[in-house]
Structure 1
Amino acid sequence: MSLNVLSRELILTKKDVLISRIYKVAVLSALAGAAPVPGLDIAVDTLVLLEEAIFYRSQFGLDEDSLRNHAKLHRMSLDDFIERVGLESSMVEFSKTGIIMYLSKIGVTSAASYATKNILKYTLPVVGNIISGTAAYTSATYCLNSILDMMVNDALKINDYRPKE
């Protein structure tokens, strides 16, 4: 039996601190979304969401090295540990493509809303930019909250994991 570095209380405290970051990070997304530069919003969103997801992963000890240490403590392979504990975050590839695929999976990158947002941005510049910025902010907060919830749940699963004898 090993002592986990993150207690339930510490995990939940970290979650609260990271929630406060979400709104600050979403402002970057909103500014890029409001800018009348084609493609800037997607580039900024992908980079910001990826960097924040990687930061969350490290804060909760869900990076590969930490998971490998947990697996070693439980005398199992990394893949077995991930499967037995049921770690959802390990199924996400932490790359630009992986983040885009994850966002598609949770239903954020709807082509219709993207098209509408961009049509408005370029046909009604001022109003469209405000709408695009607001949509970008909303999408970023939704995505980051979703990613954070997944990471918190995985950290709690590791914290609560007891191998069957």
Structure 2
Amino acid sequence: MEPKAYLHPKYKNVKVWDLPGIGTPNFKANEYLNLVEFERYDFFIIIASDRFRECHTQLATEITRMEKKFYFVRSKMDSIIDAEKRKKSFDQKRTLDTIREDCEKGLRKIGVEDPIVFLISSFELGKHDLNLLQERIEKELPQNKRRVLMLALPNITLKINEKKKKVLEENIGKVALLSAMVAAVPVPGLSIAVDAALIAKELRKYYSAFGLDDPSLQKLCRTSGKTLQEVKSLMKSPFHQGISTTSVLTVLGATAILISEDVVELCVSFIPIIGSVVAGGMSYLTVSKMLKKALNDIADDSRNVRWHQWRAQCKCKNDKNIQQHL
């Protein structure tokens, strides 16, 4: 009966609003956007589980007049496909094309000039048009909000997985630069301690973004029927059992980077200016190299976990079929 905001569980500055249905006496199309305070939203998703009605078109017209973006979504595709499967002549692609064309035709009849309809099932998010909808929204959002949108999306397809990886890669240079600036300060042990803390902080972001942190994995376990340990056994990253400055230092030490940084810091005490430059460069390379390697490993773990989840859900061993879902 009134607008309701739902906070994203990880990104508190992201809100999804569920708005009252349009076309009722209390929410007439020409008054609707003012009543729901349209200016607070970045874009609108107009959802229909059957045919789009004239009130939807009126709403789209009002949104356009106020220079906001909107997207038509035809929901409950799983129910429609299940019903159509009973027909002997069933062909899924033809069925989806027909539904899309019918929706577009109906929207043209009620005044939408160039309609684009996205077909989606909330129970099968990896199927149909979710990627296309996400790409369209991302393309039309201001640059400063695209990164937030990408990280906030559930990690449900391989395409989203790759895009998240690229978004997170963009921040590695900034973290490495901060590390280099600290390394130039001639205080023994400071650079290594800061590097470990910076890397640990970024790794936690990676695990959270890819849905591999413990709270996310526990939710996955509840839907997949697997234990947390079974899911974690699919992960190869050295940090999947826990992230701390100690675990970061252990990995750094195993790759002999820790020793190299100690040596460089010793040089700084003898040759201040040149040593500081060398220390900064060494620290930059250390942090950027380790974060890139860790990000690749975590992205691979995410793909592997998602792959096995789909195998279980699809109840099939045909990798080509699973690839289509992802």
**Residue identity in the other structure for 2:218:** R
Gaps of 5+ in 2: 1-122, 127-153, 317-326
Please tell me the residue identity of whatever aligns with 1:30. A
Q: Output the CA distance in 2 between the equivalents of 1:95 and 1:116.
A: 24
Checking the alignment, whether the CA contact within 8 Å between 1:92 and 1:98 is kept in structure 2 is no
The structure that has the greater radius of gyration is: 2
User: Any stretches of 5+ residues in structure 1 without a counterpart?
Assistant: none
Write the distance in 1 (CA, Å) between the matches of 2:267 and 2:240: 35
Output the TM-score relative to the length of structure 1.
Answer: 0.88
1:97 is aligned to 246
Tell me the residue number matched to 2:302.
155
User: 4+ runs of 1 displaced by more than 4 Å?
Assistant: 1-4
1:11-160 to 2 correspondences below 5 Å: 11-83=161-233, 86-89=234-237, 91-105=240-254, 107-111=255-259, 113-160=260-307
Whole-angstrom CA distance in 2 between matches of 1:108 and 1:67: 32
Higher strand share: 2
Aligned residues: 161
Q: Report the TM-score when normalising by structure 2.
A: 0.46
User: Residue 117 of structure 1: CA displacement?
Assistant: 0.6
Quick one: distance in 2 between partners of 1:116 and 1:95? Answer: 24
Q: Distance in 1 between matches of 2:261 and 2:189?
A: 11
Greater RCO (Cα-Cα under 8 Å, separation 6 or more): 1
Identity between Structure 1 and Structure 2 (%): 29
- Partners of 1:81 and 1:125 lie apart in 2 by 49
CA distances 1:22-48 after superposition (whole Å, capped 9, x unpaired): 000001110111111222101211111
CA deviations 1:45-99 (Å, max 9, x no partner) are: 111111000011101001001111112211121112222xx11236442111122
Q: Is the contact made by 1:33 and 1:41 (CA closer than 8 Å) also made in structure 2?
A: yes
**What is the deviation of 1:17?**
0.9
Kindly provide the amino acid, as one letter, of the partner of residue 64 in structure 1: D
Report if the CA contact (8 A) 2:231-2:305 is conserved.
Answer: no
Question: Contact 2:185/2:276 (CA < 8 Å) preserved in 1?
Answer: yes
